[in-house]
Amino acid sequence: MTRMTQPENKGLWAWIFPGQGSQKVGMGRRLMAHSGAAKRVFDEASDAVGMDLARLCLEGPIETLTATENAQPAIVTCSVACLALLKERGIEPAAVAGHSVGEFSALVAAGSLPLAAAVRAVRKRGQLMASVTAPGKMLAVMGLDEARVSELCRDAARHGTLVVAIHNSPQQFVLSGSLTALEQFRELAVAAGAKECVLLEVSHAFHSPLMAQVQEEWRSVVASLQLRMPRYPVVLNTTALTVKTLVCIRRSLLEQITAPVLWMQCVRALVTMGISHVLEVGDSKVVSSLARRTEPALQTMTMQDPAAVDGLRPS
């Protein structure tokens, strides 16, 4: 396989993979209709987890698809189905990164993890995260910079567990913790001039210490994964550094459920590596949009744009 290019847009490409929150009923429909390889990915993943992921993605209902134990394998499967289409064309990236559970998709893309093992792992990951009994929520804040968000988070944390859980872009962050602390943070953020401060429709305080209840059981799942060194650089969520050893991968996958997602820092790391273009590999525009907000000079593309994807070819 050779690296991807587009006639009018020469440059190094990274593939980036969406995480939870990108799911929607109907995702993957075009893929399955036009690519036998993509359909086979859905079949393999469905067999691996014992549920019809194609039907779930195409028909929902949204309440079932959004449940974290279902959304995670569905999102990874849809991304890997997109990956199958790219492989049919004989193209590959210079680097990869995935947002939260999308890191599993990135590892499949890099040859570090087989699809079946990845979807079984994220199915279990979702089940464990959904089983946490500690109450908590998540809140998105827009319009404040990282330093101000961190300062307000420290102030509000006096009222309960609270962390900056996701660094999406320079002006968009997600906090995770107890509802009391989140409400206090929202008051402080609004007073500080935040453009938007919204509680998210999620069941738990993901990427926070409140997930520690299931970390030991998750550790055994991660330890059982048969990993290989990636064929090309993988930028990890928890460090925004590229994989150097298999230990790096296991540590990132383990710590990810309680540690923040450093997506903004991952995008900056890709640019530092010389990446000038990113392709979002999945039925989503979420992470490519965040990448562009972080690094406005990046050229972005999504698999939702068939005309643009048709122009991709091996270099």
In the chain, alpha helices (H): 29-34, 36-49, 53-59, 62-66, 68-88, 102-109, 115-131, 146-156, 179-191, 215-224, 246-255, 263-272, 286-294, 306-310
Number of domains in the chain: 2
- What tens digit of pLDDT does each residue of 286-308 get? 999 999 999 999 999 998 876 66
Cut 0.85: pTM above it: yes
The answer to whether residue 315 is catalytic is: no
Q: For the domain that residue 157 is a member of, what is the CATH number?
A: 3.30.70.250
Is the pLDDT confidence value at 311 over 70?
A: no
Segment 269-293 mean pLDDT: 96
Query: Are 220 and 261 members of one domain?
Result: yes
Q: For residues 287 and 263, is the Cβ–Cβ distance under 8 A?
A: yes
The answer to whether residue 46 is catalytic is: no
Please give the pLDDT value at position 91: 86
Closest listed residue to residue 106, CA positions, set 221, 253, 222: 253
Determine the structural domain holding residue 305 and report its residue range: 2-132+210-314
Of 99, 167, 204, 207, the catalytic one is 207
Query: Are 220 and 149 members of one domain?
Result: no
Of 46, 100, 252, 288, the catalytic one is 100
Please give the pLDDT value at position 141: 98
Segment 169-191 mean pLDDT: 98
Query: What is the Cβ-side half-sphere exposure of residue 253, based on CA atoms within 13 angstroms?
Result: 30
Query: Are 172 and 250 members of one domain?
Result: no
